[in-house]
Each structure stands twice: as C-alpha cells, then as structure tokens.
Amino acid sequence: MRALITGSQGFVGKYLRRELEENGYEVLGIDLQAGPDTIQADLLAPEQMKEVVSQTKPNAVFHLAGQADVARSWKIPQKTMEINVIAAVNLMEAVRAFDPSMRMVLVGSSDQYGNLGEEGRLVSETLETHPQTPYAVSKKAQEEMARVYVRAYGMNICMTRSFNHGGAGQRLGVPHSRLCVRNCKGGAGRGKVAEGGQPYLPPGLHPREGRGPGLPDDCGEGETR
C-alpha cells in the first residue's frame, strides 16, 4: 500500500508518516521543498497535481497542507481561502481523474464549531458548525466541497475536524510551544529547552497518541471525524 501526504514535512505530517510506515505503508510526500521521499509541488497548480497523483499512484491520500494560522487568516483572508479551499479542490480533481474510489482524508478544524464558551464543552460531529474566523470558514468550505465530490462522484473522502494538538518538533510561535517554553523556563529545567524531547501534552491531542487523521479505514465514506 502506498500513501501520499501533502504537507508531509510539517509537524503532523512527520508523525503521520511514521505511523503509516509502521503500519506497512510506503509513504510519499508533497511539500514546498523537496526532501527524502518528498516531491516539491504546488497544490495551486491543478495540472501539476494531476501529474503527481498519476505518477505516484497512491492508494490513499492525506491532505494536511494548508494555511493553519487563525490570526494570520484575518490579515490574508483571500490567500487563506485559496490555499485551504482551491488547493483541496485541485487535489480532489487530481484523485478523481486518476481513481475516484481512492481513499482520501481531508483535515479540517474544530474552529469550524465557533465559540464553544469559555470553559468549552463536549462536542460531536453532529453539532452544528458556526465558523467565526476566515480560517474556520475556509475549513468549512473545504469540507462542503468534499461533500459535493462524495455526492456527485461517489468519491471516498473522510473529513476530520481536528482539535488542538502539540508535541515534540512543533515550531516555536504556536500557542502550545510558547506555553511549553514558559513552563520549561519556570520549572526544574530552568533555561533549558530541548528540541525533539518528550512531548508536551496540552488539553488537546498529541498527534501520535490522538491518532489525529487516523489510518484510511478509520472513517466511513463522506463522514466527518
């Protein structure tokens, strides 16, 4: 079995690659820069996406690439929509042209639910979504386009609404990594912040323990997890 991951060199992509390889998959990636088993490609170039999919011939595609900075989405709403929606459409078109029955996992966000209150509450996939940021709207639009492709073309797509997750290898600047650095500096390891160490587990999920997007068989066709 062969899996193709977009955004494969990102924080979650690296964990997903390891998880898939440990489950017997051959893994190829798409990212902004080429690397080991990683193809440099532009998700906003539809013909290039068709070429990548037809040449790599994956059995499953995990779409992790995107503009994931909520605050930045207010500054570049047009680009956020382009990266998070048009890129996903280009990828779905490429898969549809090659093999519409191929398993796809598109990663959305819990931000699609909107404001859940200061303390938060338990949510399920049936809870109505009320996106309140450009980022959340873009992820909602991505999900709705996936539903269109499932209904119209019978494609095999699973959509997730992933909550916050953090761990070793996450870039500095995101809330979890900032909190981890503050805790490290204020605790017994004062002033010593080791990269690639044991993961910090916030009130969300570590991508390995939470099994984030999951393996291809973990979600039904057209379902949201």
CA distances from 75 to 61, 86, 103, 172 (A): 30, 18, 34, 20
Q: What is the pLDDT of residues 169-215, one digit of tens each?
A: 565 555 554 445 454 455 544 434 344 444 433 444 444 444 444 55
CB burial class (10 A; 0-12, 13-18, 19+) of residue 198? Answer: exposed
Owner of token pair 């981890």:
180
Helix (H, G, I), strand (E, B) or coil at 115: coil
Q: What is the pLDDT of residues 53-87, one digit of tens each?
A: 999 999 999 999 999 999 999 999 999 999 999 99
Domains of the chain with bracketed CATH:
2-165+205-218 (3.40.50.720), 167-203 (no CATH)
pTM of the predicted model, to two decimals? 0.77
Buried b (16+ CB within 10 A) or exposed e, 115-148: eeeeeeeeeeeeeebebebbbbbbbbbbbebbee
